């Protein structure tokens, strides 16, 4: 069962060849058997999942219409709310916080009869690129348990890569879906900003954050996007537009398709990633796509712009965590000021504190114009540069990451860690849809990913081009050898 895609599982359940309870039990058994080695999950909602499965079986027996995700097990990153369950954001600060409402995404998934498994591990408050900043545990890459699965959505990517579930959800602020998808050899999609509601997502950087899915196939990504691409009155940035037919848009043909490549921006690649990218360009040529050079020199400033804007927004968003309204309150405080200070000192980890300090600095009266305002101006220029590029091409193609997954603990320099996102940040800064798809393996047999970026609201074109590549190569079908077996 673990080899089946979400589409295949749903079809078997709909035909009555397998029950929702069997799917749930098989999923839970696999997690119980293998997750101690991976560390993908922080919380598994076993009873809740089994109850949902039993009610879904009754619904089918009674002849009621089934949802489009009927019987599909889905994991949720632990910064997205499921009503009545703990949401920690990977932080000690929220170890006792129980969500009092559903995120829009989780509500829509359950309305379509998905089986929500539980919460996956992440870098604290989604700040990191390796899932080493979690306050609870390190998550390991199923392809090599000594390596990182990427971050910040490393738990969600590892859960799909190890085939604990066919779909999971993460959040992408600067590449936190696409980079781990690349590291673990699966599909990771960041929709157009506002295309998926952020209501119920604990904010890191509000103008950059976007919820999106991980899956083993582009078809499954399209299937789940049909469900979650809906306007939401509770999210002021939500786009109220008709949901496209993502599944119907999938096609192996790339006739009259033009893909832009900013060749000058590929200096950061190691040799394995460079050769893999060049091979991927040849695949698209063979599929009939025209490859053109596009000028995106401005992307060399993307990391600097991102770490000014993202930290500024983080320092504002995290100001609400004060030990008063929710979260863990310091028992050492003797007055209100100490309560604020000590609760934050004890509750936040080192990386979160670093980003709050940097964000507060760039917003301070003496530096706001020099840093924050300037970064916003460069962001506006980036948006225009992408608009100019899309006059020449349908999509822009880049590597997802400059090199394959690295060993846990191998990168200690924060600046080197930030460079992990050199190819992914731009899509967040301009609000564009972007996908990472498996594109092969490095010389040491670690997965590599290819990234496609489209104009805003052209999500289905991004998925269609990714689907054509997937059908031509089949890299995503491979499963890490250690987990390619039943949980007996």
Active site residues: 77, 152, 176
The beta strand positions in 376-433, using DSSP E, are 395-399
What is the bridge-based pairing of β-strands 187-190 and 434-441? antiparallel
Q: By the 8 A CB rule, do 296 and 389 touch?
A: yes
Tell me the C-alpha to C-alpha distance, in Å, between residue 381 and each of 134, 209, 391: 35, 20, 16
Alpha-helical runs (H) found in 39-103 = 46-61
Q: By the 8 A CB rule, do 105 and 230 touch?
A: no
Does residue 194 come out as left (phi exceeding 0), alpha (psi in the -120 to 50 range) or beta?
Answer: left
Rounded to whole angstroms, the Cα distance separating 338 from 480 reads 49
CA nearest 310: which of 86, 129, 91, 76? 129
The two tokens of residue 198 are: 């952020």
CA nearest 2: which of 144, 126, 135, 160? 160
What is the bridge-based pairing of β-strands 447-453 and 434-441? antiparallel
The two tokens of residue 249 are: 């848009």
Rounded to whole angstroms, the Cα distance separating 400 from 451 reads 5
Q: By the 8 A CB rule, do 375 and 309 touch?
A: yes
Location of structure tokens 């250690």: 482
Rounded to whole angstroms, the Cα distance separating 364 from 258 reads 44
Sign of the torsion formed by the C-alpha atoms of 435, 218, 171 and 328: negative
The angle formed by the CA atoms of residues 215, 146 and 128, to the nearest 5 degrees, is 60
The two tokens of residue 223 are: 């299937």
Q: End-to-end distance of the chain based on CA atoms, in angstroms?
A: 12
Which SS3 state, helix, strand or coil, does residue 212 take?
A: strand
Rounded to whole angstroms, the Cα distance separating 92 from 155 reads 17
Percent helix, percent strand, percent coil in the chain, to nearest 5: 45, 15, 45
């Amino acid at each position: 069962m673990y080899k089946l895609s979400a589409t295949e599982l749903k079809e078997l359940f709909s035909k009555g060849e397998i029950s929702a309870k069997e799917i749930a039990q098989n999923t839970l058994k696999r997690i119980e058997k293998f997750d101690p080695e991976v560390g993908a999950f922080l919380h598994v909602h076993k009873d809740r999942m089994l109850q949902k499965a039993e009610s879904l079986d009754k619904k089918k027996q009674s002849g009621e219409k089934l949802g489009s995700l009927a019987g599909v097990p889905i994991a949720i990153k632990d910064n997205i709310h499921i009503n009545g369950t703990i949401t920690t954001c990977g932080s000690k600060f929220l170890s006792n916080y129980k969500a009092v409402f559903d995120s829009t995404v989780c509500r829509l998934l359950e309305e379509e009869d998905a089986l929500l498994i539980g919460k996956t591990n992440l870098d604290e408050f989604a700040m990191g690129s390796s899932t080493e900043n979690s306050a609870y545990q390190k998550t390991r890459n199923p392809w090599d348990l000594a390596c990182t699965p990427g971050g910040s959505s490393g738990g969600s990517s590892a859960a799909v890569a190890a085939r604990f579930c066919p779909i999971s959800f993460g959040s992408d602020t600067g590449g936190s879906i696409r980079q781990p998808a690349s590291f673990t050899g699966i599909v990771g999609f960041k929709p157009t900003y506002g295309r998926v509601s952020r209501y119920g997502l604990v904010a890191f950087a509000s103008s950059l954050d976007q919820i999106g899915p991980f899956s083993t196939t582009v078809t499954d990504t399209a299937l789940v996007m049909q469900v979650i691409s809906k306007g939401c009155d509770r999210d002021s940035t939500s786009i109220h537009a008709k949901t496209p037919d993502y599944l119907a848009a999938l096609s192996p043909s790339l006739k009259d398709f033009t893909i832009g490549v900013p060749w000058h921006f590929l200096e950061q690649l190691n040799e394995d990633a460079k050769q893999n990218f060049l091979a991927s360009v040849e695949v698209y040529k063979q599929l009939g796509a025209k490859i053109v050079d596009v000028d995106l020199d401005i992307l060399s400033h993307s990391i600097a712009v991102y770490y000014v804007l993202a930290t500024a927004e983080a320092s504002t968003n995290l100001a609400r965590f004060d030990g008063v309204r929710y979260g863990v309150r310091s028992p050492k405080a003797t007055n209100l000021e100490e309560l604020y200070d000590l609760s934050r000192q004890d509750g936040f980890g080192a990386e979160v504190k670093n980003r709050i300090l940097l964000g507060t600095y760039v917003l301070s009266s003496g530096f706001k114009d020099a840093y924050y305002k300037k970064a916003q101006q460069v962001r506006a220029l980036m948006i225009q540069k992408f608009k100019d590029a899309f006059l020449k091409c349908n999509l822009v193609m880049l590597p997802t990451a400059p090199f394959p997954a690295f060993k846990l603990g191998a990168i200690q320099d924060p600046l080197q860690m930030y460079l992990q996102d050199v190819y992914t940040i731009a899509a967040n800064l301009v609000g564009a849809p972007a996908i990472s798809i498996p594109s092969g393996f490095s010389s040491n047999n670690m997965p590599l990913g290819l990234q496609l970026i489209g104009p805003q609201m052209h999500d289905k074109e991004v998925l269609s081009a990714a689907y054509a590549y997937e059908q031509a190569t089949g890299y995503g079908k491979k499963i890490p050898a250690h987990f390619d077996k039943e949980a007996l």
